A and B are shown apart, each in its own frame.
Chain A
Amino acid sequence: MLAEEFFGRQHAGHPTLFYVDDDVEQELRHGYGIEEPLAQCVGKFLRLGTAEPYSAIEGYRWRKRQQDKEGVPAFLPLLACSVMAASRMVNDRNHRATAYHARFSELLTGDEKQLGSQHYEPISRMWQVLASWQFSQRGARGLCTIPAPADLPSNRSMIGFAQSQALLSGADRSFMPKFFRSLREHGTTWPLPGETLLAQIEIRGMEQHLSKGFRNALQEEELRPFLAKLIGNYAASWDGSDDLVPTGVTRAELLVRLDAGRLSWVARLRSAEQKKCIELEDGVVLEQLGDTAYYEVTGLPAPSADTLTSGIRRDGGNLVLSRPSSSVLVLARDDVLGIWAGTDGFHPGEAHVVLAAPTAQRDVQRLLDKAATTGRSADTSKLAWVPQGWSMHKPVTFDNAVTLRRALQEVQGAVGLLQPPAQFKLRLEGGLKLAPSLDSHLYLRGGEPQVVLPDATEGTGTLLVDGKERPELRKAVAAGRSVPLAVLRLEPGRHTVSYSGVEIDFATADQAVVEPKMTKVCGFTVVDGKASESPSLLVEQALPTGITGADFTGATTQDAAAVMELCRRDADEVLFAAADGRLWTFEAPEQPGWWTERLPDTPAPLRFEADFHGIGGWLLERRSGRWKGRPVNPGTPKPKSAGNPRAWARAVLNAQQASVEPSWAAYVQAAKELDR
């Protein structure tokens, strides 16, 4: 129920707040017809008096995870209680951290002292697991608003997660569109950074419309940045309509794509049931692209300077298609469609196309000057698809994630919301896996994965590989980049990486441990002596006659009439005595011209090629006064039929020691007869 309500698909592409106070809790219970209060129910699962009071709940979560790896982590009820405790604290204006634990303990056990701060660590970990899960859904279950550990002040490093969710009540959130609209009426650029929005609330004296919790947070130095970020996110995803997140309705995100030399719209719909075709108001139609989550959009004016800076919203029964207005558009490669498409934030290490409206160009330029590795100067090649008046930077990459985050914080403004997704977990990424279906942690030696570090907590941790710190990796760790293990040239075998007490295992090998069955072979089919234009999957019958790589043993018959022989370049004389009486003297050609360029360190060839097409005879080489011979389809010698029989006979007789083969003896015999 909590999962559906707070992390359902209606939140796709929008910030989610796991806000639960006493009122929300009651309302939900009535809505679902539940008698027992949430806290009472959760309290039953606690192991009070032990060192790990939440172990039963953690165990339940693991069992659930075995059944459904994609599902919401199954400890939401406990986290909901942690938010309720935070909301009660806020409402009392009592902000001391110790007061939180007392409230939390009272809520769950009826006793202020049962659960203390020493027990709370597992809950802060659960918040991080939840955040990590939400990021892994790539916005389909709402944009995560849980702060990264690095963003929390030290005295709230554990309870700050729950507190962050208690900042904005439901009433506060439904007030936001009204507030945003009043600002937009004054023609301000949009979206505005969170801090500016908070200042506007104060200037206009709008605090009175907002909850006590909100007003308290506004006053408090440590909570205000969270509030600013939260409001900023709402502003950035506001599509101009009256409600932020409509209830019971699926949201389709409207994205910009760059393909076929123009900007156009594409919708992304990550709901479970996918209709092929969806009709919305004003003749807007969505048609699914293949079996992807993407839909072609018809009936909307194409993306332009105008349409990009105004929000778009179209309703249709159970679905809304929406896009917030924005003055900065960031495109990244979309792997599903194989094109450039709009993205929520920058991804360090990846290439981006950045488009900026005139009002945002200063901020974009400042950001790129501070943090970009490539793409700092605007592309001035006047491409037809760039919206009129907008600037374009391409390809923009950020190698240093730490610098990027800092620059985004400093510049704020139009780019403040393009933060890269936060990393909550230590994980492995990339690498060359040998048998992904059998062992997802087995890599080829030399193709070791990269390590993605969680966003630095205070007192930056040390990355250990097999228990040791490796100086080669320090630079990447300091830059907040993913850390490549391939540079370490690890020996094949089992390895571990650990960081801040978390450890991950992987293994490397020089070859596949289990030989994979090759069921699908690609190649060119050959029909009637001609190959197909392009490769395709070869069915079993086509395999023996198809072309795979440089192998087509079944596709051609070897030309038996053509023979190649290698002759020594250091021979004093090379002759060919054909069966029909013709005689050739071979001169060594120069060495292949491309050797010097392509094979600079290779000594000159020792041999040269001689080709024989439809002719037979003996190849004779003289070195240091000795003849050696090799038959080339020698046949029966009939030296009178062509050429110069006398010269032929002389040459054969000179070389009569060349071979002891009977065929050569026949040549010598024929020569003797001619010579007589």
Chain B
Amino acid sequence: MTGPIGTNAFGGILLRWLSESRSGKASVLRDGVRSQAQAWGLELKEYADWDWMRKAAALGFIDVDLRADRWSVAPPVLTRLPHADGLALLTGARTARISARVEEAAQEWMELITVSHRPEAGEAPLPDTLLFQYEDLRALQEAAEFLGTRYVPCAALQLTELLPQAALGPESAPPGGSTVNTLEKYELRLHQFVPVERDDEDGLYRWRGADYARLTRVRRNGVFHAVERETGIFLELARHRTGVMRWRPESGKGRAGIGRLFVDRYAPLPALHERAAVLCSGFPPSAGKQTQTRAYDNVPRALAEAIAASLQQNLEIMPRLVAATGGRTK
């Protein structure tokens, strides 16, 4: 890696900016994404700035509190990818200082793999994925120390334990007041919110509060509960027993426990679940053939099952593409 200027530097410059600034307003971050796109002559689709922010958070670069309109950069971390034959991911802050260290190490002793993000049409490019090919764990820990980053044994697997269960939040007020004309209900069949006049059925609703902030609420047995949008959709899917998650083991010999997790695009994973899935490979999910699904690489079956279970989903296991026999015990 040579400085932030290069053909794929768009995401790198933004990450450098965030890393050097350390924290700020989320709206300013999105302005930065759009302004940078304008400077680079990139045509972004609507919400591409939001999308960039969300993906940068999933990749472990930043954390975003939308309610407070704040972001902060995450500490630099070197962490193993699960079952990846000696690959570790460098994520979190990428200041000029850290980048210089990485560059120096890559020239001298570090096996660094730099992979540029391949954005879809209208998407703002993300920072390069930096992978470190290590020979043993001691080398990995020493590298973390040299680079001035924290060492986290395996973020993806460790997150599995911490995933919150999708559940109704605290009871909350029903829609009303002057903003009642912004009421919408989630229509599972259409995969989107549609305008409605009344809230007389159970389901997932959203409307604008008195400060015009968007409120998402689940109505259950006539009572409204606060909920995050993503979780709300999964609760709604569970109520209608609709599955949106599938997992397919890799076809290679000895790789049956690791595979690709598919999630229907209309049901985005909640923030931490998304992060757990993304930190399995260090890459944002790729879009499926008809872009109807998001596919996460290198996800161990146990992690896929934990994500599904915590979202009240039944994980559908797809057959391996090529039958292969394997096993390493005698």
Contact = CB atoms under 8 A, between A and B. Distances in A.
B83 A592 contact: yes
A431 B228 CA distance: 33
A512 B328 CA distance: 52
Contacts of A598: 115, 281, 283, 297
A590 B152 contact: no
B163 A522 contact: no
A609 B85 contact: yes
B40 A486 contact: yes
Given A530-B164, A547-B272, A583-B330, A594 B72 contact: no
A285 B255 CA distance: 65
Nearest to A587: B328
A1 B254 CA distance: 84
A533 B23 contact: no
Interface in B226-268: 228, 231, 250-255, 258, 260
B164 A532 contact: yes
B306 interface: no
Bin the interface of chain A by size. Answer: 35 or more
Interface in B35-83: 35-36, 38-41, 46, 57, 60-68, 70-75, 77, 79-80, 83
B143 interface: no
B32 interface: yes
Nearest to B41: A484
Interface stretch (B101-109, B177-185, B217-225): B177-185
Measured as residues with beta carbon below 8 angstroms from the partner, the interface class of chain B is 35 or more
A392 to B, nearest CB: 15
A435 B21 CA distance: 7
A602 B39 CA distance: 32
B188 interface: no
Contacts of B91: 549-550
A431 B212 contact: no
Nearest to A299: B178
A518 B272 contact: no
Contacts, number: 305
A535 B63 contact: yes
B159 A446 contact: no
Interface string B134-150: 11110000000000001
A558 B157 CA distance: 11
Contact of A531 (B133, B162, B324): B162
Interface string A656-670: 000000000000000
A651 to B, nearest CB: 11
A524 interface: yes
Contacts of B297: 594, 597-598
A452 B55 CA distance: 31
Interface string A527-565: 001111111110000000001111111011010000011
Contacts of B73: 518, 549
A591 B87 CA distance: 12
B4 A446 contact: yes
Contacts of A521: 23, 63, 72
Interface of A: 259-262, 264, 285, 287, 289-292, 294, 296, 298, 302, 335, 337-338, 349, 351, 384, 395, 429-432, 434-435, 444-450, 482, 484-487, 489, 510-512, 516, 518-524, 526, 529-537, 547-553, 555-556, 558, 564-566, 583-594, 597-599, 602, 605-611
27 contacts: A260-B184, A285-B178, A290-B211, A395-B46, A431-B39, A446-B16, A518-B72, A522-B63, A522-B65, A522-B68, A522-B72, A523-B63, A524-B162, A529-B162, A531-B272, A532-B164, A533-B169, A535-B57, A537-B65, A550-B74, A551-B92, A587-B326, A589-B253, A593-B251, A594-B250, A594-B281, A594-B298
Cβ-closest 3 pairs across A and B: A549-B74, A589-B254, A290-B211
